Structure 1
Amino acid sequence: MEQLLAAHPSSVPEPAPTTPRPRRRVAAWAAGLLVAVPTVVTGCRLLDTDALTPVPQALSFLPWLTVPAALAALLALTARRRLLAAWSVLVLLLTAWFTLPYGPDTTTARGPVVERLRVLAANVEFGEATDALVEAARRERPQLVYVSECDPACVRTLTGALGASLPHRAVVDGEGSTGSVILSAYPLTARPPIPAAMGMPGATALIGGRSVELRLAHPLPPIPRQVGAWQRELGRVADFAGAAHRAGGPVLIAGDFNASQDHAAFRAVLDTGRLHDAARLAGAARTPTWPRELPLPPYVQIDHVLVSDDFRVRGARFLDLRGSDHRAVLTALDLHAGR
């Protein structure tokens, strides 16, 4: 028998190469750990909730969670864990689906165009980027400028430098991050600000013969132990948007929302007021605006210009302002007659 085996070595099948079991266990554990965060975050997105810390913070990274979900799927396949691999693929597909732009890609504006305008929304970071904003406004010539974190010195600088082209303003006075101002080329009627820790001024502007409701949005950021306040303040923005929609006139809400399309509290503002993100309509959804001052480039869009169905969007650009950790949002809009 031994002679026969020696004479015919090819008759003995070689064992199939396998991944050693300890390696498969390590790969399976790694896959489970990698898919855990995308599972929780994508699950909350699916359930339309911002939940509790750390979910609201992690939702800002939702598009980037496709990377660990994909790695988890590969490791699970390597480990031959079919159930884990299927789960990882499902989470990957859901995460990828939620990276698509939120909401319709056009408005239902009717009637002739009564005014063409540019709107600039900027966070000047405690007034540090005021001079850069003056330069941008002189260069781009917007008719409306929404400025967050604009202290009294910032307001004085802006009104002194831009008063000829933007003579009207609505202000919430405050130091540091609490001050804000809307500068306008159109006559304004003051309206009560939206209650918040940081200034959210409001006004009604007469634009192209139409009364347009303006509000600057700047809710608290969703940092730990502040998520509830962030949700309440965005809820007040949604309440205003809903009331303005029921009133039936044009609405423009812009500013640093401290929220992206992946946050339920921000989507509620869009849905309650039937508003549209101008960047989305311009084909620039998810263009990151924050943070600018890290070694890595910005990763999330939290600065927005929201418009009612009375507007059409001709374009959107994002401007770097020296001294600010935010990129400014510049949109070109057409206001329609609505009939």
Structure 2
Amino acid sequence: MVTTEDTLPLLPAKPPRRRRRWWSAVVWLMAVPFVIWAAARVLGLDSGFPAVQLIAFTPYVAAASLVPLVVAVLTKRLWPAVVTAVATIALAACVLPRWISDSGTEPDGGTVIRVMSVNMLMGGADPKTIVDLVKQYDVDLVAFQEYTAEAKAALAQTGLEAVLPNAVSYPRPGVTGSAVYSRFPVSDLGYREFPSSFGQAQAAVRVPGAVDVRVESVHPCAPSNSRGAGCWERDIVQEPAATPGGAVNLLIGDFNATLDHEKFRAVLDKGYRDAADVVGAGFEASWPYDERWFIPGVTLDHVVADKRVGVRKVSVHLMPNSDHKAVFAELVLPKAQ
């Protein structure tokens, strides 16, 4: 005899309440770091150690934030999924635009200038590679950081001065030396020395047919530890503002910062654009180059130009015996009035 109970379908057993709570806790623990990171990035809360160092890796964190989102969705945890989705969208909004070109129009009748930045790692960067890059890309101007007397002699011996005969150079031992080499005539505007003892060579460059140009070889203090983070913050805020009614300013060099640093974005807010961001090359990592370092690459080196300047291309290039890659940019300067 078959009873009514025997004919009822078997319902799946619900997981024990303890297991459901455990999964919820795990998903929240996965989500919370990404929420905190997104809030810090959006609100510019990246001051001090180790926030200054960590915020540089925001693009990797943005990609990794998909993991807790997927876990929350698969485990049907509604609120963790919603919160994580908000964090993922916020991080994506911060980083994805640097993949998208927004170069726009160039100055009418503008003059093309090709520039390059090289951090020489205490003067050790290979001079032949530098000269070869200058010749290959028809570079008009190079900004050097960590430029020493030995580097100056090596560059001269390798033939850089035959290609870029005009220079403003401040060789220093270690990491504080700076220089600007140019195909065009230059005037020495001095050495901007920060309280940290890091400094930047400043040059006025007379480019035929273009407005007056001022160039600085940028190199604020490196935020490599808690003390360095403080001196980096004090240095980078002293980068000069653009002068829309005067000379075109170009800040070229190792900012020790990425687009995810609030203080670097504050520099851009002074009237500049980041050349790599303009052409959709904002993820071209320039540090570290040393293959012995197991560190994800980040974009610390930049060509930052007055908003009047057009940008055609940006690329990075291997630089033996340095921990940075060289950064090349082709710019278009507004014509002289």
Q: Same fold (TM over 0.5)?
A: yes
Partner of 2:261: 263
Moved more, 30-39 or 137-146: 30-39
SS of match in other structure, 1:61: helix
Partner of 1:230: 232
Q: Deviations over 1:25-53 (max 9, x none)?
A: 44333333332332222112211332332
Partner of 1:218: 219
Question: Structure 2 regions of 5+ residues with no counterpart?
Answer: none
Q: In 2 relative to 1, CA 193–230 (structure 1 residues): closer, same or farther, beyond 3 Å?
A: same
Q: Distance in 1 between matches of 2:101 and 2:44?
A: 18
Partner of 1:293: 290
Instruction: State the shift of 1:76 in Å.
Output: 2.8
Q: Distance in 2 between matches of 1:100 and 1:136?
A: 30
* TM-score normalised by L of structure 1: 0.88
The answer to whether the 8 A contact 2:316-2:326 is kept is: yes
Q: Deviations over 1:174-228 (max 9, x none)?
A: 1121112111111111113232332311011111243201001111222331222
Q: One-letter code of the match for 1:135? A: D
Instruction: State the shift of 1:264 in Å.
Output: 0.7
Q: One-letter code of the match for 1:266? A: F
The answer to whether the 8 A contact 1:120-1:328 is kept is: yes
SS of match in other structure, 2:66: helix
Match of 1:254 among 245, 252, 257: 252
The answer to whether the 8 A contact 1:127-1:149 is kept is: yes
Q: In 2 relative to 1, CA 17–212 (structure 1 residues): closer, same or farther, beyond 3 Å?
A: farther
Instruction: State the shift of 1:246 in Å.
Output: 5.4
Partner of 1:87: 83
Instruction: State the shift of 1:107 in Å.
Output: 6.2
Partner of 2:278: 281
Q: In 2 relative to 1, CA 66–167 (structure 1 residues): closer, same or farther, beyond 3 Å?
A: same
Q: In 2 relative to 1, CA 282–159 (structure 1 residues): closer, same or farther, beyond 3 Å?
A: farther
Match of 1:63 among 54, 59, 62: 59
Q: Distance in 1 between matches of 2:317 and 2:253?
A: 14
The answer to whether the 8 A contact 1:167-1:184 is kept is: yes
When the two structures are aligned, how many residues end up with a matched partner? 329
Q: In 2 relative to 1, CA 187–20 (structure 1 residues): closer, same or farther, beyond 3 Å?
A: farther
Q: Is residue 2:146 matched to residue 1:149?
A: yes
Q: In 2 relative to 1, CA 4–263 (structure 1 residues): closer, same or farther, beyond 3 Å?
A: same
Partner of 2:319: 321
Q: In 2 relative to 1, CA 16–142 (structure 1 residues): closer, same or farther, beyond 3 Å?
A: same
Q: Distance in 2 between matches of 1:293 and 1:278?
A: 24
* TM-score normalised by L of structure 2: 0.88
Q: Is residue 2:117 matched to residue 1:121?
A: yes
Partner of 1:134: 131
Instruction: State the shift of 1:334 in Å.
Output: 1.8
Partner of 1:96: 92
Q: In 2 relative to 1, CA 26–213 (structure 1 residues): closer, same or farther, beyond 3 Å?
A: same
Q: One-letter code of the match for 1:271? A: D
Q: Distance in 2 between matches of 1:195 and 1:48?
A: 27
Instruction: State the shift of 1:311 in Å.
Output: 2.0
Q: Distance in 2 between matches of 1:180 and 1:18?
A: 68
- Give 1:161-200 correspondences, 5 Å limit: 161-196=159-194, 197-200=197-200
Q: Distance in 1 between matches of 2:50 and 2:19?
A: 31
The answer to whether the 8 A contact 1:24-1:79 is kept is: no
Instruction: State the shift of 1:250 in Å.
Output: 0.8
Q: Distance in 1 between matches of 2:2 and 2:266?
A: 79
| Identical columns (%) | 27
The answer to whether the 8 A contact 1:256-1:302 is kept is: yes
Instruction: State the shift of 1:99 in Å.
Output: 0.9
Instruction: State the shift of 1:80 in Å.
Output: 4.0
